[in-house]
Chains A and B, each alone.
Chain A
C-alpha cells in the first residue's frame, strides 16, 4: 500500500493536481493548458426539402431557400504570454455565429378581381354562389311605407336604395384616390376559390442575415471568491417577403434588430455551510422598422372586409427595451433545514416611437353599398371604390415615449428533511411591482370616475402629474407568493417517490413596446360614421383628414369621440394557483414510470381589445334593432358615450382559466445506447376569453366559459436517442481496419408529437347587430347532431346543426364547441449524426436534421363559417387542403 501511496504522490504532482505544482504533461489528460472549440456550418437548400403540401395542392413550386449558418467557438484558460497566466484561475469561452439566408414566403389570399376594380360587379356572387347586389348610396331615400313597429326586412324597408344598373358602378362615380390605390393590387393569379375567393397566391423572396457573439469569462479569485461575466451581442436584419411589390404592401415590414446582454456574478463561499451570490445583469433589445415609403411617407392603411388590406399598422417603429437587474442570494444550512434568501431588483425601460397609423387607417364596410338593414347586400370593396369609409383614425405622434418601471422580489425558502424519506419545501415570497412611469410624465388615461365636462358623464382624460394626478395610474402592488412541495419515499423505498406541490404566484403588468396611454400628448383622432349604412365617416382623399387639434392637449374632454386609451387602475393583478401530485416508480431494465395529475387556474388575466370592452353596449339593447345603426343613438347606450370605445391594449384584468391534466410518462434510461421517453397527457382547459374571433358578451363572463381554443385534449410525445452499436468494440460490424471509419460513430435522435384536434369555433357569416356585438356566435339547431358518422375532409362536421342568428339577436352556441374538434396533427423530427474521431480530442461530426422527415401532411381545420338558410356557405364543414412538408438541414462540425 505504501508503494501505491508513493505513486499517488508522484502522479498527482506530475498531473498538476497539487496546489502550487505545475503539470508536467501536456497531452492526454493535460487539458488544462489547452484551448478547445469547434467550427461549424449548417446548410439548407430548397433542393433538400419537399414541396409543402399546401403549395403542391395549388400547383405551386418550392420556395427558394439558400441558407448558411456558420460559426466558431473557442474556450480555455486565459493565457497572455509574459503577462498573465490564468491556466488555473481564469477561463474564457467565445462563440461567434453568423447566418445568411435567402428564402421565399407563400400565402393564399383574396384580392379584388380586375372587374371589381373598375366597378363591374356583374359577375360577383355571394358565398352561396348567388349574385351579390351592390346598391348606390346616392339613391338612398326614406321609405314612406316603413312600419316602424315591425323589423326591417326586404318587405318592410326603412330606406329604399337602388342597385347600380347591371351591378356596374359608373366610372365617374369612383373615388380617384381609391381608383389609384386599387391599381396597386396585383393581378389575381389563382382560382383556388370558390367564387373568386383565394385568388392570389403570393410567392416572394426575402433576405435575412444575423451576426452574433457570446463571450464568457470565469475567474477564481481564491478558494472562497469567484467572479463570472458574460457579454452577448447580436445584430440581425429580418427580411420580409412582400405581399405586393409596392408601397401598399400589407405584409410584414423589414426589421433591423440588435440585442446586447451583459452580466457579472460574484460568488462568495462564506463557509462550507454558507453561500452568498450577487449578480448584476443588463440587457437591451432594439428594433427599427424599415418600411417602404413614397416620397418619405408610408402608405395609408385601407381595410376592406375579407379582402387583403393595403398598407399596414406600425409601418414606422423604433423601440428599445432595457432591463437592469440586481440579485442577491444567501444560502445556509441549519440542522435539517436548508434556508435560502433571495432579493432581486428589476428596472424596465422602454423607449418607443410608434405611430400606429401615421398616414391614417380607413375601414370600409358593406353597409354603404348595401340595402340598409338587409344582409348579404353590398360589399366593403365597393364602398372603398366610392371612397366612403365607415371609420377612420390617425396616429399623431410628436415625440417618443420613455417608460420606466421598477420591480422587487424577496423570497425565503426552507427545504426541511422532516424524517428520512420525507423532504418538505416551503417558500414565501413577496412580489412588489411599481407602476409604469414616463420619464417626462407624458402619460394619460381615462379616469372612469371623473366627470367629463362635455356631457357631465363619468369618464374624463387625466394626465400624469397634472391636477393632483400622480406620476402613475396604478398603485404600487405587493403580493405574497407561497409555495409548498414535498418529496416522499413511501415505505422507505427509494425506488418510489411521491411528489406533491402547491404554488400561488402573481405576474407583474408588462411594460409594452407601444405608446398606448399617451393620448393627451400623441393624438389619435378618429372619425366615425353616424350610420354605417347611410353616411360615411370620411371620404377618401389624397391625404389624411385634418385632425383639427394641437398637442399636447390635456383637457379632460380631449379624448372624446376617439378610441380612448384606458389604463386599468384598480391594481388587479394576474394571479395563478397550481396543484400537482405525481408518483415515480423505478422499474427493472432502467425504466422509470411517472404518473401524475395537475390542476391550475388563474384569474385577472390580462386581456386585449377582442376579449374586453369596458365601453360595450349591454346585449339587452339589441331590442332597439335598426335604431342601433344610428351612431348617436348607439353611442348614447354606452356606459361612457363620449368615447367610441376603449383601447385596453392587452392589459384588462378580466380573464380566467382552469386546466386539469393527467399524464403518464415512461422513461428508459440509457441501456445499450438507447434512451427513450414517452409522455401521454390528457387535459381539459377552459377559459372565458380565448379564441380566434373574440367574445360575444362582455358583461356575462360566465356565458363565455368554454374550452380554450388552443387546448389539445390528448398529446403524445416521444423522444429518443440511439447510439447505433457499430464499429470496434461494438456489437455490429466490429471491424478495425479502414471500414471502421464508415461504420462507427452513428447515432440517431428524434422527437415525435401526436396531438388531437383543437376545439372548433363556429361563426356566422353576417353580424347584423347594429355594432352592439363585436363577435357573434352561431345558433344551435335543436335536435340536429353536429357530428357526422364518419368525419371526412368533405364533411368534417354537420353544418346544418348550426344557423345564422336572426338579425339583432345573439347566437346561443358556445364560443368554442364543447365536442367538435378539428383534425389531429402529428410531427416527426429526426437527427442523424455521424462522428469521425480524428484523434483523442479532435473529431468531425456530420449531421442531418429532418423536420417532418416523413413528409406527413396534416389536415387544415374545416371551414367554420355558417351562412344563412338563403345563402349558406357551401364550404361549411369542409376541410380544404393540408399543410406541412419535410425540411432538411445538413451540418458539419469540427471539434478540437
Chain B
C-alpha cells in the first residue's frame, strides 16, 4: 500500500514537472479612438502596443451599432438645464437607428432613468421629466458608468460611448471638497492658502481609477466658473476626461450650450473601436498608439496593463 502511494506521488510529481507552464499566447485589447472625416477601413488603421504593431482583429466604425450612455448630472440653474435638455432632445431625435441610447441620472447617486433600446419618445419623456434638485454626483458616478460601459463592450460587439452633461459646482457636493474654515479665530491658518488641494487629490484618485478602464469619458459642462476652487475642479475634470481619451466642453454662457452638446454628439458618432491582439510582455505598462496615416486621431496613448492582461488572458 505504501509503495502504491509512493508511485502515485512520483507519477503526480512527474506530471507536474512535465506539464508546460500556463502560457498567454496573446492578449486582446479594445482601443476606442476618434477620427473625424471619411470612414476608415481596417487596413487604414495601425495600432502599436509598446511600439510594435498589433493585429487589428476587428474595427468597429461610425456606421456600426453604437450604445450611447447619456448621464445627466444637473443640480442648479434652470436656464442651463432647460437649454441642455432641449438640445439633448434634438440630438437624440436626430440619431440614426443604429444608435441606442440609455439615460442615467447622477444627482445624489447614479441611477438608470431609461434603459437603452427604449423608444425615442420614451427617452424624450424621461428627459423632460428629469428633476434637478440634487447634489452633484459626477465624481461619485464616473467609475460606475465606465465599469458599466466596459462590461457591455466586453460582452457585445458594439461600440460603447458615454456622454456626461453636468452643471456641477464643487461647493455643492455632499462631500467636503472646499476645505472650509473650521476655526474662524485661527489667524495663522496657512492650510487654506491653496484650498484646491482636496478637489485636486480626489480627481487624481479618480483619474488613476478610470485609467484602468477602456471607455473614454466625454463631458459637456454647462457652466464654467472662474473662482479658484471651481477652476481647479474644472481643470481636473478636463484632465481626467482627456486622460481617458475623451473630450470635454465647458460653456461660458447659455448660448454656448447647444453648440457644445452638438459637438459632443458629433465626436461620439465618429468613434471607432479597434480590437487588437498582441503579445504581452512582462512590463506593467502598456503604450498604445493609433496611426491612421495623416488623419487626425484622438485616443488614449498610455494605459496600465495590470488589469487588462489579467482579464484578457483568461478570455
Q: Which residues of A contact B (CB under 8 A)?
A: 1, 3-5, 7-9, 11-12, 15, 17-19, 28-29, 31-32, 36, 38, 40, 42, 44, 67, 69, 71, 73, 75, 88, 91, 93, 95-97, 99, 101, 103, 208, 210-214, 216, 218, 220, 223-224, 226, 232, 234, 236, 238, 255, 257, 259, 267-269, 272-273, 275, 331-333, 338, 415, 417, 420-423, 487-489, 494, 497, 584, 669-670, 673, 675, 677, 719, 721, 723, 728-730, 734, 736, 745, 747, 749, 751, 829, 831, 833, 835, 837, 840-841, 843, 845, 847, 849, 851, 887, 889, 891, 893, 895
Contacting residue for A3 out of B129, B156, B183, CB 8 A: B156
B14 within 8 A of A: no
B184 touches A234 (CB 8 A): yes
B90 within 8 A of A: no
CB nearest to B130 among chain A residues: A272
A11 touches B152 (CB 8 A): yes
Which of chain B's residues have a CB closer than 8 A to the CB of A332? Answer: 78
Which of chain A's residues have a CB closer than 8 A to the CB of B129? Answer: 272
A213 touches B133 (CB 8 A): no
Chain B 33-79 interface residues, beta-carbon cutoff 8 Å to A: 65, 67, 77-79
B196 touches A721 (CB 8 A): yes
Which of chain B's residues have a CB closer than 8 A to the CB of A69? Answer: 186, 189, 191
A333 touches B79 (CB 8 A): yes
Contacting residue for A673 out of B239, B250, B259, CB 8 A: B239
CB nearest to A590 among chain B residues: B238
CB nearest to A213 among chain B residues: B182
A333 touches B208 (CB 8 A): no
Which of chain B's residues have a CB closer than 8 A to the CB of A3? Answer: 155-156
Which of chain A's residues have a CB closer than 8 A to the CB of B242? Answer: 670
B313 within 8 A of A: no
Decide: A88 near B109, CB < 8 A? Known: A31-B140, A93-B174, A849-B191: yes
B235 touches A670 (CB 8 A): yes
A214 touches B254 (CB 8 A): no
Which of chain B's residues have a CB closer than 8 A to the CB of A421? Answer: 255
* Most A CB within 10 A of own CB, among B82, B83, B128, B133: B133
Which of chain B's residues have a CB closer than 8 A to the CB of A831? Answer: 193-194, 197
Contacting residue for B182 out of A11, A103, A234, CB 8 A: A234
CB nearest to B142 among chain A residues: A29
CB nearest to A729 among chain B residues: B302
**30 A–B contacts, CB within 8 A, in A order:** A4-B156, A5-B67, A15-B144, A17-B110, A19-B111, A31-B144, A93-B175, A97-B183, A103-B188, A213-B182, A214-B176, A214-B180, A234-B184, A259-B185, A272-B128, A273-B78, A273-B82, A488-B255, A494-B256, A669-B234, A669-B238, A719-B228, A729-B303, A745-B204, A835-B201, A837-B208, A840-B208, A840-B209, A849-B190, A889-B191
How big is chain B's contact interface, by range?
35 or more
Further contacts, 9 of them, CB under 8 A, given A338-B82, A723-B204:
A4-B116, A15-B110, A103-B188, A257-B185, A423-B253, A489-B255, A584-B252, A673-B239, A749-B194
Decide: A4 near B152, CB < 8 A? Known: A218-B174, A728-B284: yes
Per-residue interface assignment for chain B, residues 238 to 266, with 1 indicating a CB less than 8 Å from any chain A CB and 0 otherwise: 11001000000010111110111000000
CB nearest to A10 among chain B residues: B151
Which of chain A's residues have a CB closer than 8 A to the CB of B144? Answer: 15, 17, 29, 31
Chain-A contact segment, one of B4-12, B100-108, B267-275: B100-108
Give A868 Cβ to nearest chain B Cβ, in Å: 42
Per-residue interface assignment for chain B, residues 179 to 218, with 1 indicating a CB less than 8 Å from any chain A CB and 0 otherwise: 0101111111111011011101100110011010000000
B91 within 8 A of A: no
Which of chain B's residues have a CB closer than 8 A to the CB of A5? Answer: 67, 100, 115-117
Complex Cα gap A91–B140 (Å): 13
CB nearest to A730 among chain B residues: B302
B298 within 8 A of A: no
Per-residue interface assignment for chain B, residues 272 to 315, with 1 indicating a CB less than 8 Å from any chain A CB and 0 otherwise: 00000000000111000000000000000011100000000000
* Most A CB within 10 A of own CB, among B65, B78, B238: B78
Complex Cα gap A660–B232 (Å): 30
A275 touches B132 (CB 8 A): yes
B254 touches A7 (CB 8 A): no
Q: Tell me whether chain B's interface is mostly helix, strand or loop, or mixed.
A: mixed
Which of chain B's residues have a CB closer than 8 A to the CB of A234? Answer: 182-185
* Most A CB within 10 A of own CB, among B79, B129, B156: B79
A44 touches B190 (CB 8 A): yes
Give B281 Cβ to nearest chain A Cβ, in Å: 11
Give B181 Cβ to nearest chain A Cβ, in Å: 8
B225 within 8 A of A: no
Which of chain B's residues have a CB closer than 8 A to the CB of A488? Answer: 255
Which of chain B's residues have a CB closer than 8 A to the CB of A487? Answer: 252-255
Which of chain B's residues have a CB closer than 8 A to the CB of A213? Answer: 182
Complex Cα gap A489–B211 (Å): 36
Which of chain B's residues have a CB closer than 8 A to the CB of A420? Answer: 255, 258
Decide: A1 near B208, CB < 8 A? Known: A18-B112, A103-B188: no
Complex Cα gap A506–B205 (Å): 45
Complex Cα gap A5–B152 (Å): 8
A218 touches B255 (CB 8 A): no
Which of chain A's residues have a CB closer than 8 A to the CB of B260? Answer: 494
Contacting residue for B155 out of A4, A28, A272, A275, CB 8 A: A4
B230 within 8 A of A: no
Complex Cα gap A421–B258 (Å): 10
Which of chain A's residues have a CB closer than 8 A to the CB of B117? Answer: 1, 5
Contacting residue for B205 out of A44, A88, A673, A843, CB 8 A: A843
Contacting residue for A210 out of B78, B186, B238, B255, CB 8 A: B186
Complex Cα gap A754–B74 (Å): 39
B197 touches A489 (CB 8 A): no
Give B89 Cβ to nearest chain A Cβ, in Å: 12
Give A65 Cβ to nearest chain B Cβ, in Å: 9
Give B17 Cβ to nearest chain A Cβ, in Å: 31
B188 touches A669 (CB 8 A): no
Complex Cα gap A797–B62 (Å): 73
Which of chain A's residues have a CB closer than 8 A to the CB of B134? Answer: 220, 226
Give B302 Cβ to nearest chain A Cβ, in Å: 4
Complex Cα gap A422–B184 (Å): 42
Give A840 Cβ to nearest chain B Cβ, in Å: 5
A267 touches B255 (CB 8 A): no
Give A16 Cβ to nearest chain B Cβ, in Å: 8
Give A163 Cβ to nearest chain B Cβ, in Å: 48
Which of chain A's residues have a CB closer than 8 A to the CB of B175? Answer: 36, 75, 93
B24 within 8 A of A: no
B13 within 8 A of A: no
B116 touches A8 (CB 8 A): yes
A1 touches B65 (CB 8 A): yes
Decide: A423 near B254, CB < 8 A? Known: A338-B79, A670-B238, A721-B232: yes
Complex Cα gap A71–B129 (Å): 43
CB nearest to A337 among chain B residues: B79
Contacting residue for A729 out of B78, B184, B200, B211, CB 8 A: B211
Complex Cα gap A273–B85 (Å): 11
Complex Cα gap A255–B187 (Å): 13
A843 touches B201 (CB 8 A): yes
B205 touches A895 (CB 8 A): yes
Complex Cα gap A134–B197 (Å): 62
Complex Cα gap A71–B182 (Å): 10
Contacting residue for A272 out of B132, B140, B253, CB 8 A: B132
Give A251 Cβ to nearest chain B Cβ, in Å: 15
Which of chain A's residues have a CB closer than 8 A to the CB of B102? Answer: 8
Contacting residue for B176 out of A95, A238, A273, A889, CB 8 A: A95
Decide: A75 near B112, CB < 8 A? Known: A272-B128, A272-B131: no
Complex Cα gap A837–B211 (Å): 14
A42 touches B190 (CB 8 A): yes
Decide: A497 near B205, CB < 8 A? Known: A272-B131, A332-B78, A338-B79: no
Complex Cα gap A487–B252 (Å): 9
Which of chain B's residues have a CB closer than 8 A to the CB of A73? Answer: 176
Give A730 Cβ to nearest chain B Cβ, in Å: 8
Complex Cα gap A73–B238 (Å): 27
